[in-house]
Amino acid sequence: MSAAVTAWELSRRFGDFLAVDRVSFEVREGEIFGFLGPNGAGKTTTIKMLAGLLRPSSGEGWVAGLDIRTETAAIQSRIGYMSQLFSLYADLTVEENLAFFARLYGVTGGRRRERIDWALAMAGLEDRRRRLTGELPLGHKQRLALGSAVLHEPRILFLDEPTSGVDPLSRRSFWELIDDLATRGTTVFVTTHYMEEAEHCHRLALMNRGRLIALDSPRRLREEMKSPLLEVRTSEGLRAIEALSVLPGVLDVALFGRALHVTVEDREGAVERLQDGLRAKKVDVAGIRPIPPALEDVFVARVREAGGAIVD
Amino acid sequence: MRGRAERVAAMVVKEFRQMFRDPRMARVIFVAPVIQLLVFGYAVSTDIANTATFLVDHDRTRASRELVDSFTASGYFRIVGRSDRPLDLVRALERGEAVVGLTIPVNFARDSTSSEGARVQILLDGTNSNTASIAKGYAERIVADFGRRLAPRGALALELRDRPWFNPNLESRDYNVPAVVGALIMLISLLLTSLAVVREREIGTLEQLKVSPLTAGELIAGKTIPFAVIALIDLAIVTAVALYWFEVPFRGRFFLLLVASALYILSALGVGLFISTISATQQEAFLASFLVFMPAILLSGFMFPVTSMPEVFQWATLLNPVRHYLEIVRAVFLKGAGFHALSRQFAALFVIGTSILLFAATRFRKS
Amino acid sequence: MTSKRLLAVARKEVLQLRRDPRSLILAFVLPVLLTVLFGYAISWDVDNIEIAVLDQDRSKASRELLDAFRASSYFRLSAFLDDPDEIERLIDRGEVRMVLVVPPDFSRELGAGRTALLQAVVDGSDANTANIAMGYARAIAQSYSLRIAFAGSSFHPPVQAESRVWYNEELSSRNMIVPGLVAVIMMIVAAMLTSLTIAREWERGTMEQLAATPVTRIEVVLGKMLPYVGIGLFDVFSVSAIGVLLFGVPFRGSPLLLVPLSTAFLVGALGLGMFISAITRSQVLATQIAMVATYLPAFLLSGFMFDVSVMPPVLSWLTYLIPARYFLVVTRGIFLKGVGVDVLFVQGLLMIAFGAAGFAAAVSAFRKEIE
């Protein structure tokens, strides 16, 4: 299987600030490849370099076999790109936006009409084709933006934070669309900071402070998590955090909904040690048990191992 | 009362801070006046000098040469080309190489001593009607003076002695430079007030201010006072430059100018405030200010005399504060006029200024 | 470069323009407004100058002289004074511009064959009006003088001037201004409108989406320019039509020459506006710079109202850099002088050069990359 997207030692500097630090990876054809990380990690910068919107400071990259430093024009005809904030023309109607981008991508004549109809159907906007785009709710804008990006049926799709600000229901249906596209052979390169969405991806790259700190499938990332995880259910969250943070062998304590996720160094006897520690401080505990890590836990651990996240 | 003053002072201080941090404001406050002054001081001139003249001298005698010399000696005309062929003169005018054409006929010297007299032809390119009018006047005068020198006897029954008051050299600069003050103050007050308020609306802090103890009146005062101060500072700068750089005379009392300026600023601030109530973005405010500024200046007597306008417009300009302010400014600079002579204009400024400001403030309060 | 992408950009721009009332006003209403304002309200033609008279002679001769002034449309006799002190008051207040003072020995001097003096006290603060007013007064005094001096005799003055004014015989400032307006309006409107277009897309984020498509820089710049060229030419037409039909400004040259030269000038002005838009990427900043870079020079330094030749050397050299100056020669040449390519050859080339330079500047300044 050949690589749809390759990055090698890709870096980008803004003045003194190194936004992307020697990032290397390969995206296989037909894969949904996710770029995960907090704000400011360098995800958007990386995707923009690949899409020809930013010039790399150093390093190399290839998209569909074309060099991102010298063949951006050719690359741009072959990829679809959805920018953050779904930047469509607010003062054009839904139809006009689609027609415009169709023309820019060289989709003409009868095929254009077909593709526009398809996009409208996919986005659920058939009876709103004459509406001004600015008046649409965010979820519809999102789907419209996706439609505009795939009118020319590109093999590779770049999506930059495609679900930011959208309600969970819309997010879920959006990912169904992505899955559908991937099944038909489109390679999807997507950046996101929503951890639960990362599960949709075939492989994930975790980015922090401009560096790639992990690259694997979600399942293996979870399996490989070094530090074991325990869940502590308690009604006195804050006091429990206080008590646990000072215990030896405890690496991290985080609030997870109503429970605490505690990362410990050693699985052996961890449950008992935590129980003792909490009882000593007279904290009421409903239960302690080891749990498999969620991606968020993996991420937090990896970030900690790599030296901490950037403070926004 | 204490609290009121404190709140207003707080706003004023904030405005000043923001103003000096924002490079855009600095540009408008300091760069715009300088540019306008320089340009208006130097570029705007309705005087003529060294007007390009093409000469066709068919006679070429001493007399004809003396006539030409009297043209060039006046400083108003400059010979840029000569020829024997009238066609060349036409060409020169067509191409714009010359604006005046002087044709001296073949028997000029002989005819000028005969009883019939000689005639010289003066052709003027009327494209710039102003220059042409003035050039025509001077040319005819030079010819008439020349004729009188030739035949002093009985040549002149009537001599017109002119005595220009206030501006003996009739330098248009002295008329234009002081007027720049009026344009500047209007521009600055308009721009700054409307931009300052709208910017707060854009970034959302206006809402924040509205829920604070600050009343609408205090908000308005806080927004307008800093710009009134800036406008007055600019007044001082422009006056100083006018006096010391351009050497425009100042014969009146500065105090009078100050009072008039204060009243004028009321109008300018009022309009600025009004614009801020109809603009959603800074850019709209900017364009609206521009659209108001242009006709206000054009119809004020700044560059084009009010007396030249059709009656209707002349009446309309009575509502234009710029007109009245310019009359005061010019009178104070050049005529040394006192309050008495300018009482009508002062009254007009007061009425217009307070009305506009009140109207704008009411609108602002409602929003 | 493909025409399809170019036309797609142009089509989008038109759709957006149609829905933006502010741009439409700027594009269509403002030029008409300016033309009417300038043509109708504003002029330098000086007439109905208010004057006062202090006749200390009150003879038949002085009355005849004053009648000559009264008959002239340039002056309006609004006050008859009894006292020299009143002169100062009237002029100070600006109620009159000029006071004619006839000395008490006026008719006596005339009768004796000597030269009689007539004094004109002029308010010099408005130098321009004063100059022109004095010119008129002098002309009236001159013809009166000739009538008296040579009455009944066949003696002619040794030298007389025959003046003729070409191209603008009535010396109407309107004829001077309207052709200039065509140039000025185009410059201002073009630069203001286009200074917003690219900056607006960057600010709203749509430029990023656009930049990710295969569209090229030339296609974006040219595509955005096309609708504005249309608007500009329409404005040329409407301003010219208003000038000719409403104000009677002559049009002696060839419209066929005006169109291509206007188009070249337009492309240059549009290119300039887009250049500003591309480098600032901020609408507020673009508007400000556009105003200073186009409005000021076009109005003041292009020869539109003020004679370039009278400016100090530094400024007059500066005017050579202002495209509007050359275009003004073209419009005035075509409207008033009726000249053709042979005369306007140089200016024509300069217009084309300006158009090319503006376009090139816009394309090179506009980058698809964010940085």
Prediction ipTM score: 0.80
Q: Kindly state whether residues C96 and C226 are assigned to the same domain.
A: no
The answer to whether residue C273 sits within a structural domain is yes
Beta strand A285-290 pairing with A250-256: unpaired
Which residues of chain C neighbour A158 with C-beta distances below 8 Å? 212
Residue spans of beta strands (DSSP E) within chain A: 3-14, 17-28, 32-36, 58-63, 66-67, 79-82, 156-160, 187-192, 203-208, 211-216, 229-234, 250-256, 259-264, 285-290
Question: What is the C-alpha to C-alpha distance for residues B321 and B304, in angstroms, rounded to an integer?
Answer: 16
Do B118 and C307 count as a contact with CB atoms less than 8 A apart?
A: no
According to the model, what pLDDT value does residue A146 have? 92
CA diameter of chain C? 95
The answer to whether residue C102 sits within a structural domain is yes
Q: How many domains does chain C have?
A: 2
Q: Kindly state whether residues C53 and C23 are assigned to the same domain.
A: no
Q: What is the mean pLDDT of residues C290-304?
A: 80
Q: Is the per-residue pLDDT at A211 higher than 80? A: yes
Q: Is the per-residue pLDDT at A309 higher than 60? A: no
Q: What is the mean pLDDT of residues C195-218?
A: 88
Q: Kindly state whether residues C247 and C292 are assigned to the same domain.
A: yes
Task: Please list the pLDDT of chain B residue by residue as tens digits (367 residues).
Answer: 677 888 888 888 888 887 777 776 677 677 777 777 777 778 777 778 888 999 999 989 998 999 999 999 998 999 999 999 999 999 888 888 888 999 999 988 888 887 778 889 999 998 888 888 888 888 988 888 888 777 665 556 677 777 777 777 777 778 888 888 788 888 878 887 887 788 777 777 777 777 777 777 888 888 888 888 888 888 888 888 888 888 888 888 999 999 999 999 989 999 998 998 888 777 788 878 888 888 888 888 887 888 778 888 889 999 999 999 999 998 888 888 888 888 899 999 999 999 998 998 888 877 6
Tokens of C94: 């600006």
Over residues A147-164, the pLDDT tens digits come to 999 999 999 999 999 988
CA diameter of chain B? 93
Q: Kindly state whether residues C90 and C200 are assigned to the same domain.
A: no
Q: Kindly state whether residues C219 and C93 are assigned to the same domain.
A: no
According to the model, what pLDDT value does residue A312 have? 38
Question: What is the C-alpha to C-alpha distance for residues C53 and C81, in angstroms, rounded to an integer?
Answer: 6
Q: Kindly state whether residues C23 and C82 are assigned to the same domain.
A: no
Q: Is the per-residue pLDDT at C292 higher than 60? A: yes
- Residues with Cβ within 8 Å of C228's Cβ and at least 6 positions away in sequence, in order, are C190, C193, C194, C266, C270
Question: What is the C-alpha to C-alpha distance for residues C221 and C278, in angstroms, rounded to an integer?
Answer: 10
DSSP category for residue A136 = S
Helix ranges (H only) for chain C are: 3-18, 21-24, 30-36, 60-71, 85-93, 106-111, 127-149, 173-204, 206-211, 217-241, 247, 255-280, 283-290, 296-300, 313-319, 323-332, 341-365
Q: How confident is the model at residue A311 (pLDDT cuts 50, 70, 90)?
A: very low
Total beta-carbon pairs less than 8 A apart between chain A and chain C: 82
Do C164 and B123 count as a contact with CB atoms less than 8 A apart?
A: yes
Contact in structure between B102 and B161 (CB atoms under 8 Å): no
**How much is the pTM?**
0.79
Please give the angle made by the CA atoms of B161, B166 and B169, to the nearest 5 degrees.
Answer: 65
Which residues of chain C neighbour A55 with C-beta distances below 8 Å? 369, 371
Do C296 and B143 count as a contact with CB atoms less than 8 A apart?
A: no
**Over chain B, what HEC string results?**
CHHHHHHHHHHHHHHHHHHHHCHHHHHHHHHHHHHHHHHHHHCCCCCCCCEEEEEEECCCCHHHHHHHHHHHHCCCEEEEEEECCHHHHHHHHHHCCCCEEEEECCCHHHHHHCCCCEEEEEEEECCCHHHHHHHHHHHHHHHHHHHHHHCCCCCCCEEEEEEEECCCCCCHHHHHHHHHHHHHHHHHHHHHHHHHHHHHHHHCHHHHHHCCCCCHHHHHHHHHHHHHHHHHHHHHHHHHHHHHCCCCCCCCCHHHHHHHHHHHHHHHHHHHHHHHHHCCCHHHHHHHHHHHHHHHHHCCCCCCCHHHCCHHHHHHHHHCHHHHHHHHHHHHHHHCCCCHHHHHHHHHHHHHHHHHHHHHHHHHHHC
Residue C305 has a CB neighbour count (10 Å cut-off) of 22
Do C94 and B155 count as a contact with CB atoms less than 8 A apart?
A: no
DSSP category for residue A93 = B
Q: What is the mean pLDDT of residues A155-175?
A: 89
The answer to whether residue C233 sits within a structural domain is yes
CATH code assigned at C98: 3.40.1710.10
Cα of C214 to nearest chain B Cα, Å: 31
The answer to whether residue C60 sits within a structural domain is yes
Residue A256 has a CB neighbour count (10 Å cut-off) of 16
The answer to whether residue C166 sits within a structural domain is no
- Residues with Cβ within 8 Å of B142's Cβ and at least 6 positions away in sequence, in order, are B70, B71, B74
List residues bridging with A58 in a β-sheet.
A11
Q: What is the mean pLDDT of residues C26-54?
A: 85
Which residues of chain A neighbour C19 with C-beta distances below 8 Å? 91
Question: What is the C-alpha to C-alpha distance for residues C336 and B202, in angstroms, rounded to an integer?
Answer: 49
Question: What is the C-alpha to C-alpha distance for residues B176 and B187, in angstroms, rounded to an integer?
Answer: 17
Listed by start position, the domains of chain B span: 2-44+171-366, 51-150
The answer to whether residue C154 sits within a structural domain is no
B301: closest chain C residue by CA = C42
Fold of B51-150: abc type-2 transporter like fold (3.40.1710)
Question: What is the C-alpha to C-alpha distance for residues B322 and B315, in angstroms, rounded to an integer?
Answer: 14
- Residues with Cβ within 8 Å of B41's Cβ and at least 6 positions away in sequence, in order, are B173, B176, B177, B180, B242, B245, B246
Question: What is the C-alpha to C-alpha distance for residues C329 and C326, in angstroms, rounded to an integer?
Answer: 5
Higher pLDDT, B11 or C214: C214
According to the model, what pLDDT value does residue A298 have? 83
According to the model, what pLDDT value does residue B82 have? 93
Neighbours of chain C (3+ CB pairs under 8 A): A, B
The answer to whether residue C164 sits within a structural domain is no
Cα of C200 to nearest chain A Cα, Å: 11
Nearest-CB residue to B308 (from C46, C94, C156): C46
Contact in structure between B122 and B86 (CB atoms under 8 Å): no
Total beta-carbon pairs less than 8 A apart between chain B and chain C: 329
Q: Examine the fold and report which residue of C149, C183, C201 is the final residue of a domain before the chain moves on.
A: C149
Q: Is the per-residue pLDDT at C197 higher than 80? A: yes
Q: Kindly state whether residues C235 and C347 are assigned to the same domain.
A: yes
Nearest-CB residue to B94 (from C41, C134, C339): C339
Q: Kindly state whether residues C145 and C177 are assigned to the same domain.
A: no
CA A12 remoteness from chain centre: 20
Q: What is the mean pLDDT of residues A28-57?
A: 90
Q: Give the residue numbers spanning the domain of C141.
A: 49-149
C279 to A137, A225, C6, C221, C269: CA distances (angstroms)? 33, 49, 22, 13, 16
According to the model, what pLDDT value does residue C156 have? 64
Q: Kindly state whether residues C39 and C62 are assigned to the same domain.
A: no
Question: What is the C-alpha to C-alpha distance for residues B46 and C363, in angstroms, rounded to an integer?
Answer: 40
Over residues C235-278, the pLDDT tens digits come to 999 999 999 999 999 999 999 999 999 999 999 999 998 998 88
A212 in helix, strand or coil? strand
The answer to whether residue C371 sits within a structural domain is no
- Residues with Cβ within 8 Å of C185's Cβ and at least 6 positions away in sequence, in order, are C30, C31, C34, C35, C235, C239
What are the phi and psi torsion angles at C25 (to 5°)? -65, -45
A7 in helix, strand or coil? strand
Q: Kindly state whether residues C73 and C57 are assigned to the same domain.
A: yes
Q: Does C216 touch chain A (CB under 8 A)?
A: yes
A118 to A56, B270, C65, C273: CA distances (angstroms)? 36, 55, 91, 39
Give the mutation candidate from C121, C125, C283 for the B interface (greatest B CB count, under 10 A): C125
Q: Kindly state whether residues C184 and C289 are assigned to the same domain.
A: yes
Instruction: Give me Rg for the CA atoms of chain B.
Output: 28
Q: Is the per-residue pLDDT at A267 higher than 60? A: yes
According to the model, what pLDDT value does residue C131 have? 82
Which residues of chain B neighbour C289 with C-beta distances below 8 Å? none
Do C209 and A96 count as a contact with CB atoms less than 8 A apart?
A: no
Q: Kindly state whether residues C85 and C224 are assigned to the same domain.
A: no
